[in-house]
Structure 1
């Protein structure tokens, strides 16, 4: 595990180990990077280092009782917070702070890791902010996010930002193709995750293949007529996107389709998410202005936010389709 994360994010691990070696451990860090870049893995590694009974040269021993319990996520000094449903709620933050401030812990630093920190609702973020402003004792916060700019600026300013570099996408795609994945599917999954194993799982998943196909068919329906697109939402989209996770993934793919359109319109050499549909996407690029493309991408991002807020999914998609269809104009 140690060698794996060090190979993938050497600069990050070197920086964390250096802060430990020079006794400059911060009270709050913000690990920022794409899905699959190893943020939680690095957070656990850092937690082991901070609690290890016999670290050597700023490296956890991996064999002591503390290291084993941190790795197993059962050390009482380490708390991991994840979204409860679609977001992280105020009650979760209040419970965390109460736990961090009460007695009864083992000796050593207390560490809390907040996964998907950008999913904190306003009340949760403000509750955490108060704790970050006045940390008590040896406490270290590690916030993990794939959307740094969605974190409150006041929280950003109180954390040391540690960026996680994505792997070389072309190399990931080549390795997937070597295992029998089609180049087009490899291009799609490597946009969704930087973890090669998860990318392969997605590429071999029949449900994901259907989801991908459904997103592209929606693009085609919206290109023809708004009524056809609205009918498609009822007949094809909603039956496939049964779970919120599917809907979120579908919206991500839709966003990447528009990213492809922008790349083609601008003549960029970037790897496309949907290279097998390049001709249709290029046609769309000639029908839409840059301003409209930007507005459509913002509409998709807003739809994702409404999804987290438990908006009716049928109404959400119908509104989105109406917004997207407005952009199909000759320039």
Structure 2
């Protein structure tokens, strides 16, 4: 517990100082939007802030970590805290309605009531509108903490009613150097640091055989799409779907595909940015000469749209087949 606290204070010093100053100056807002990449410490910061708001004996706007309330916040057993996470594909209206009922009924312990919504960008429209009404008219001492890695996906009306707290990622070059020093190849280090901003999570991912297979599968799809549409469609059935068994796997695969096209765009433009797949420079250079900027842009948009459809009710095989057909259109001579 102490290590986690010290880690988040070191990694997100400005964020923690801002939250503690808000408490110290008695200027607490009723809603916060923690915005940052995966692995930047949003969850740990939310826990730290919740402890501070409920701590029995804080010292200089720092939770004591040892009182009954701090211990219950740490173990996620405090009755005044409600955690909301996606129920399957998204966060549903029923979850928001249940949350509001919990927040407005009596019977809580004295003190502030807190609700934390993880992956808030996954709220469907009905859920977001239900929450919006509660954000506009909060009852009593209630604090909302919304966590997101996709600020632009949050309804503007919700954005405007929350204080945005931005979590900055560490320098990617430093993360890559740390991983390489630990024995991870430079190419894998470059890939995993695009997936998470947490060095330890990146190290675990780099050593995960399933992720290594997923990375190969994404690169093979790009090559298959380059050669022949029928080959690419067959590849979806024979290799992609078996490798991406869960929706979370598919989402990660689509992220990798998006980063691959970003690499191709960077090579076409002659940019010196750090690549996600530095071991694919020769192949990507060839693709960058084949594809126009407009088609590359269209392909990236197609991948983004596929990610949105993924958490709808669309069949995953059909989704990928449609995506492959759109990507195939991009393979034209400039």
Identify the residue that residue 237 of structure 2 maps to in structure 1. Answer: 234
What is the CA–CA distance in structure 2 between the aligned matches of 1:264 and 1:292, rounded to whole Å? 15
In the aligned structure 2, how far is the partner of 1:284 from the partner of 1:58? 55
| CA distances 1:129-178 after superposition (whole Å, capped 9, x unpaired) | 01001000110100000000000000000001111000111111111112
Q: TM-score, normalization: structure 1?
A: 0.99
Q: Secondary structure at the match of 1:31?
A: strand
Matched residues in 2 for 1:318 and 1:40: separation?
Answer: 36
CA distance in 1, matches of 2:265, 2:169: 22
- Residue among 35, 44, 56 paired with 1:32: 35
From 182, 187, 191, the counterpart of 1:188: 191
> In structure 2, how many angstroms separate the alpha carbons of the residues matched to 1:214 and 1:222?
12
1:155-170, aligned counterparts within 5 Å? 155-170=158-173
Distance 1:265 1:27 in 2: 47
Structure 1 residues 56-108: Cα deviation after superposition (integer angstroms, max 9, x where no partner): 11100111111111111111111110001121011110000000000111111
Distance 1:134 1:142 in 2: 16
Q: Residue 59 of structure 2 corresponds to which residue in structure 1? A: 56
Residue 116 of structure 1, CA deviation: 0.1
CA-to-partner distance for each residue in 1:194-253, whole Å, 9 max, x for gaps? 111111111101111111000000000101111111111111111111111111111010
Instruction: Select 1:149's aligned residue among 148, 152, 165.
Output: 152
Aligned to 1:6: 9
**Structure 1: 5+ residue runs without aligned partners?**
none
Identify which range, 286-295 or 1-10, moves more after superposition: 286-295
Aligned counterpart for 1:284 among listed residues 287, 312, 333: 287
The 3-state SS of whatever aligns with 1:58 is: coil
Aligned partners of 1:310 and 1:270: how far apart in 2? 37
In 1, the alpha carbon distance for the partners of 2:34 and 2:222 equals 34
Does 2:259 align with 1:256?
A: yes
Instruction: Give the alignment partner of residue 78 of structure 2, picking from 68, 75, 85.
Output: 75
Say whether residues 1:100 and 2:103 are aligned partners.
yes
Alpha-carbon RMSD across the aligned residues, in angstroms, is 0.8
- Residue matched to 1:265: 268
1:298 aligns with 2:307: no
Matched residues in 1 for 2:214 and 2:81: separation? Answer: 37
Q: Which residue does 1:89 correspond to in 2?
A: 92
Query: What CA deviation, in whole Å up to 9, does each residue of 1:104-140 have, x standing for no partner?
Result: 1111111100000000011100100010010001101
Q: How many residues align?
A: 331
Name structure 2 gaps, 5 residues minimum. none
Matching of residue 127 in structure 1 with residue 130 in structure 2: yes
**Which one of the candidate residues 108, 116, 120 is aligned to 1:113?**
116
Aligned to 1:43: 46
Please state whether the residue corresponding to 2:245 is helix, strand or coil: coil
Where do 1:194-233 residues align within 5 Å? Answer: 194-233=197-236
